[in-house]
Structures are given as C-alpha cells and as structure tokens.
Amino acid sequence: MAALPLRKEIDELSAVELAGLRAGYAGMQAISDNRGFNYLSGLHGIPGNYCVHYDDPPLFLPWHRAYLHEFEQYLQDRAETATVPWWDWTIDRGGNIPQAFAAPQSPDGSANPLYASQINQPTANPPIVRQTQRFPMTGQPLPDPSVVTNLVALTDFEDFSTQLRGGVHNQLHGWTGGMGMVGGRRTYGDMAVVPVAAFDPIFYSHHCMIDRIWYLWQLQNGVTNIPQAILNTVLPPFNVKVADVLDIHQLGYDYAIGATTTSGSTP
C-alpha cells in the first residue's frame, strides 16, 4: 500500500509543495459552482450553517474533521498532491501569522490565494460580496506548547473536546480575525465570527491544527475513545457518520513534522 499523503506544518512545506498548495486554492477560488472555494466555505457558516459548535452531543471535532476532509478532496481535484497544512500557533513567530498566509502576493507577484478569498453570498441578509478581511491581534500572546500538552493529557473525550473548543480553538478564531476600522466603522475580521470564518483561507490550517491535536489525543487515549451513542450520528452535509471519521488513516491522511520519500524498485 502506498504511503499516505502527509499533512505538514505550513512552514515545513517545500517551495514546490507551497506552490502546489497555492495552485490548489487558486483553482478552487476560480470555480463558482459546488466544487469551488466559495461554495465549500459556505457550508460552515452562511448560507449552509452546518457547523457544530455546541458540546451536547459532542460533535464539534467529528464534524470539523469531516469538513476538512471534504475540503481536501476538492483541493486535490485541483492540485493532486496538495494536502491542507496545519498552522502550529504555538511556534514563536514573533506574534505573527505565518508568512505564507500573511503576504498579499505570492512570490510570482500574483494575488496570494492563502491571504484572502472573495465572499460571494448575495442571499445573506445583509448580502456579503467582498474580499475577506483580517485584523490579527499581533503582539497579543499566542498559546505556548504547554497548552497542547495539557489538552492531550486529559482523559475524557467530552472534557477534552469542550476545553479544546472553548479554549485555543475559539481564542485563535478571535486572535486571527480581530477587529479593525473599515470606512470609518469598526468591524470584525472574518475569522472571528462563525458565519464567515471559513471564507478566510487560513481557517482550514487553523482547523488542521485542531484536528491534529485530536489525533495526538487519540494516540494517547485510543481512536475509538468517544461516546458510543454518537457513533452512528450523521454529519451533514457530508456522506459520513461519526464512526467514519475516527481513524485518520482510514480517511487517507497522516500527520508528520517531517518526511523524506523516494521511489521504490517496482518495475
């Protein structure tokens, strides 16, 4: 069996891998139908409103794993070897967002598809048709690695899920989006509010980090360590139940902080 595609930390991507990721996001953003970035982003908040951020039943982690997996399939339709990278916000970058997401332009001078996307939701009330915006709380502290260590040390799934969601998950949404002035009025950054958070391309790498923390927790506490009562709960609009998303290897990906692969000798 071939090696599973690896999700890596954003700054661990090679130049070729990062270019591939950008090509994938740009390709998705150029599509306006249900394979495109705008459509898929709209499943989380407006107009789909499928996301789960409540704790009872504890579907927050399974739903977002299913969402990220679905998103990654469409990403790979555009760039076959691309995977969603995680943004490890415990790495000291001077209180800044990784450059791959922060730079308005790609190295070739084109618009960086990891920096922003175009929200096209004319049926929202009020309608939203504009580019995404971000006002990160630069200079405000980000979580240190001990936060992840403490989360992974928890032993009860519901305790873990609630603390992860209501702690660093929510904190980083607020930190990344922040608020700023546009046209003389105070407004929020998109990552900071549920209905439009997923239109910011960095959303998927933040949630990749959240999914990775769940994976690290599963390594300690078992893949099937989740209330049995929710195993058959479907995760709309995706074609999976909770039981289908517990094992990331069954979903066809793995997490690694580094890897080197060379071709085999099969003729």
Q: How far is the CB of 107 from another protein (least distance, A)?
A: 31
Among 25, 89, 175, 204, binds another protein (CB under 8 A): 175
39 binds another protein (CB under 8 A): no
- Measured from the CB atom, is 6 or 194 closer to another protein? 194
- Measured from the CB atom, is 5 or 143 closer to another protein? 143
- Site for another protein (CB under 8 A): how many residues? 42
- Measured from the CB atom, is 22 or 173 closer to another protein? 173
Q: Which stretch binds another protein (CB under 8 A): 107-115, 187-195, 243-251, 253-261?
A: 187-195
Among 69, 78, 165, 206, binds another protein (CB under 8 A): 165
- CA dist 62 to 131, 192, 226, 232, 243, Å? 29, 21, 10, 12, 9
220 contacts: CB under 8 Å, gap ≥ 6: 152, 153
50: left (phi over 0), alpha (psi -120 to 50) or beta: alpha
- CA dist 29 to 22, 109, 206, Å? 10, 17, 19
Q: Which stretch binds another protein (CB under 8 A): 14-22, 117-125, 199-207, 216-224?
A: 117-125
- CA dist 175 to 60, 188, 253, Å? 20, 11, 28
167 binds another protein (CB under 8 A): yes
Q: Which stretch binds another protein (CB under 8 A): 17-25, 98-106, 111-119, 188-196?
A: 188-196
Q: Which of residues 56-85 bind another protein (CB under 8 A)?
A: 56
Q: Locate 106 and state its tokens.
A: 């790609």
193 binds another protein (CB under 8 A): yes
Residue 216: phi, psi to the nearest 5? Answer: -60, -40
Among 126, 139, 258, 264, binds another protein (CB under 8 A): 126
Three-state DSSP at 128 gives: strand
Q: How far is the CB of 68 from another protein (least distance, A)?
A: 17
Among 10, 18, 82, 192, binds another protein (CB under 8 A): 192
The total number of residues shown for the chain amounts to 267
* Secondary structure element (H or E) that encloses residue 16, with its range: helix 15-29
Q: Locate 216 and state its tokens.
A: 């690290």
221 binds another protein (CB under 8 A): no
Q: Which stretch binds another protein (CB under 8 A): 16-24, 83-91, 103-111, 178-186?
A: 178-186
147 contacts: CB under 8 Å, gap ≥ 6: 90, 167, 168
Q: Can you tell me the distance from the alpha carbon of 9 to that of 72, in angstroms, rounded to the nearest whole number? A: 15
Three-state DSSP at 61 gives: helix
239 binds another protein (CB under 8 A): no
Q: Which residues bind another protein (CB under 8 A)?
A: 45-46, 49-56, 121, 124-126, 128, 137, 159, 162-163, 165-167, 169-171, 173-175, 177-179, 185-189, 192-195, 197, 236
